[in-house]
Amino acid sequence: MKQKITEWTKRYLPAEILSIIITLVTAGLVFKFTGDQLTTALAGTWAGNVAYFGYILISDILISFKKCKHQSIPYTGLSLLKNLRALALEFGFAEILDSFFVRPALMYFLPIWLDNLYLGIFLAKIAADVTFYIPVIVSYELSKRYLSK
């Protein structure tokens, strides 16, 4: 199990750190300019998602590119489609639930309840990550088992 936790940490933690930074900066700027909590929650959610999935996708492409180079085969459009398919299978269900319901709701309500924008956004992100990573890790493990064959 320790090996699995190490693998998941290497895969998700760098993207998570980038996402937290982008989420907090975006939420702070949007709230400063709009003063609207709903716009802030949505902007924080989606900016964090772009950072997170951008990092994961680029990492996966680089790994695939290295594998192709090692095997002396080109990285093609089909290779990219395989990377995108794997991401959709790994994150699809969890991401729909997270991005459209859980995370925006938490990012809307927690800053209001705590009367602190940054603490509320940060805690909302952490709370949403709990419900996000359970199905993601299950999907990741299943996709490794069945897509690699």
Query: pLDDT tens across 101-138, in order?
Result: 999 999 999 999 999 999 999 999 999 999 999 999 99
Whole-model pTM: value is 0.89
Give a yes or no: residue 149 inside a domain. no
Give a yes or no: residue 103 inside a domain. yes
**Concatenated DSSP letters for 44-91?**
HHHHHHHHHHHHHHHHHHHHHHHHHHHTT----HHHHHHHHHHHHHHH
Report the C-alpha gap between 93 and 137 in whole angstroms. Answer: 12
* Residue 148's pLDDT band (cuts 50, 70, 90): low
Residue 94 has pLDDT above 80, yes or no: yes
Q: In the chain, what is the straight-line distance between the N-terminal and C-terminal CA atoms, in Å?
A: 23
Give a yes or no: residue 139 inside a domain. yes
Give a yes or no: residue 98 inside a domain. yes
- pLDDT 10s digits, 18-62: 999 999 999 999 999 999 999 999 999 999 999 999 999 999 999
Give a yes or no: residue 29 inside a domain. yes
Decide if 114 contacts 123 (C-beta within 8 A).
Answer: yes
Please state the domain count of the chain. 1
Give a yes or no: residue 73 inside a domain. yes
Report the C-alpha gap between 41 and 23 in whole angstroms. Answer: 9
Give a yes or no: residue 105 inside a domain. yes
Domain that holds residue 56: 2-144
Give a yes or no: residue 58 inside a domain. yes
Report the C-alpha gap between 130 and 145 in whole angstroms. Answer: 23
